[in-house]
Amino acid sequence: MVGRWPYLVAGVLAALGVVLIVVGGCLVPYFDDVIVQRLKSHVLPSNGTDSYEEWKNWSRFDPVYRRFRFFDVLNPKEVVESGRNVTVNETRSYVYRVNFERRNLKFNSGNSRLSFDLYKTFSFERNLSSGAEDDYLTAVNLPILNLATRLRFENRTVQSETAQEVNRLGEGLFARVRVSDLLWGYNNTNLETLLIYLDGRFGIRPLNDSTYGLFYQKGQPKKTTYEGSYEVDTEDLSSVWKVTEWNGRRSLGVWNSNASDRINGTDGSAWSPSVDKSTPEWLFDSDWCRSFRLTAFDPEERKVGDLGTYGYYLSNASLSYSAAAEGNRGFCQPTPKQNNGSCLNDGVLNVTNCKDNVPLLLSQPHFLGADVKYIASVSGLHPNQTKHQTTFDIEPMSGEVVKASRKMQLNAYLMNLTSFPNTTQLADDTVVPVVWTDEVYSMTETERQYLANEHDIRRKYDVVKYTLIGVGALLLVIAVVIVVVVFLLRRCKAAKEGQDEVDERQPLLH
């Protein structure tokens, strides 16, 4: 005979199951809040914390290196005398360690914004380089080209007499220059002579300084660059690190549309946590004077060591100005020779207005993804998607950059200039590569291990809460099964007893 004990067991199991489900359900928001709080303590800047101190000078803990590869011009005489295509040879690699320093930090608007000045200091790493800073190469004579370009709208007398002085001083379209001088600046005595002459003869001084270098900044120590004044969001995890202002502006005031001029995204040192591939990620790059919408690699998770990441890259379409790339039309700029006119061809960005009117064009290395005219006009270029593309690997939970490679090529724009002899043979829109750079970063093993441990903690939280819910649900199922089985057994027993009673009432003989 089935007694009451099955129902008691079922009741106990059901009650225990309900308790486990309730506990597991309560742990879901609790553990989620614990994870959020751990993220906030690790990601959101807070004055005085270890993470905040590390963030201020993060490259001291996680080394950043910048590699420079120059383009040595092999046929300067043929280019000047007969207008032949420039032939270049990519030089050896010159590697500098980059120290990022954020100074003058100040929290604004109730700690929802953080402003700072960003400086980069470069230290040459001879052991990592295949060349020395004293190496020489032949490059476009950028100091004199810069001066001549600024004189292109002066009257013909100014330009022709300047040309005579340039000839007298023996300056040409190309010059032999040391690597360190081309990068960090040197006092060009002939340029100084020209500036004194123009000031005395015509009362004009198109340049305030006779020192020239690709990364030279007047008033800064040598090998130190000022990257601008930043304001970033620090209010919550969904928007932390997004640049809200640069040099006191929410837009750049450089490009031809509000969308192109707007500052979007982070500076590339970190992104907001909970990165989602279905949502585009933006990068603001002050070197390029613009924001880029990054493109995600294949949806499959990538691996850097044992750490899962989402991969993003700078697509060739980012530098396209064709009708098919309407979002980029605001970046359409005429050549430095013109005040107005048609766009440059795809793949090259005119940043003259953003770089103190220095006639520089930016592109991806070796004109990767650029219009074929640029590649065809220079011999010795070999664009390679794997080698020359900008990429980021981002850990999605924290938004931290695990690995990055930011690439950029600086190009000189050559044109026929009355004030610069030996340019009459040049074709229009002659763009000559000068140097390409690769700023590389790889997270330290210690930081990767920390993030891996955070993932383990999150997995353990998930195991605990979902195990409790699963076991509770299983106990409820068992309780229901017990009740159903007991009910069926009792019903069968009652039916059998009823049949036996009927059989006993039947007569033995008919």
Count Cβ atoms below 10 Å from residue 35 Cβ, excluding itself.
Answer: 17
Question: Quick one: pLDDT band at residue 133, thresholds 50, 70, 90?
Answer: very high
Q: Identify which has the larger pLDDT, 455 or 206.
A: 206
Mean pLDDT of 146-158: 87
Give the pLDDT of residue 236: 83
Q: Three-state DSSP class for 69?
A: strand
Backbone angles phi, psi at 271, to 5 degrees: -120, 170
Q: Which residues pair with 249 in a beta bridge?
A: 246
Q: What's the rounded Cα separation, in Å, for the pair 232 and 239?
A: 9
Question: Quick one: pLDDT band at residue 267, thresholds 50, 70, 90?
Answer: very high
Say which residue the tokens 């308790």 belong to. Answer: 19
Kindly provide the residue ranges of all beta strands, DSSP E only, lying in 168-321, ordered along the sequence: 174-178, 186-187, 211-212, 224-233, 243-246, 281-285, 290-296, 302-304, 307-313
Kindly provide the residue ranges of all beta strands, DSSP E only, lying in 321-429, ordered along the sequence: 348-350, 360-363, 378-379, 391-394, 401-414
CA distances from 198 to 186, 335, 364, 383 (A): 21, 26, 37, 42
What DSSP string describes 444-498? -HHHHHHHHHHHHHHHHHHHHHHHHHHHHHHHHHHHHHHHHHHHHHHHHHHHHHH
Lowest average pLDDT, out of 2-16, 274-288, 474-488, 489-503, goes to 489-503
Question: Quick one: pLDDT band at residue 108, thresholds 50, 70, 90?
Answer: confident
Q: What's the rounded Cα separation, in Å, for the pair 29 and 437?
A: 46
Give the pLDDT of residue 454: 82
Are 312 and 296 a contacting pair, CB within 8 Å? yes
Q: Identify which has the larger pLDDT, 324 or 495.
A: 495
Average pLDDT, the chain: 86
Q: Tell me the pLDDT tens digit for each residue of 440-465.
A: 999 888 888 888 888 888 788 778 87
Mean pLDDT of 419-437: 82
Q: Three-state DSSP class for 256?
A: coil
Q: What's the rounded Cα separation, in Å, for the pair 106 and 299?
A: 39
Mean pLDDT of 226-252: 92
Give the pLDDT of residue 137: 97
Strands 430-442 and 174-178: unpaired
Angle of CA points 443, 54, 403, to nearest 5°: 15
Structure tokens of 67?
Answer: 């590699």
Give the pLDDT of residue 504: 58
pLDDT higher than 70, residue 163: yes
Question: Quick one: pLDDT band at residue 499, thresholds 50, 70, 90?
Answer: low
Give the pLDDT of residue 389: 96
Structure tokens of 45?
Answer: 């800047």
Mean pLDDT of 106-119: 88
Residue 156 carries which side chain, given as an amino acid letter?
Answer: R
Give the pLDDT of residue 337: 60
pTM of the entire predicted model: 0.85
Angle of CA points 369, 372, 378, to nearest 5°: 105
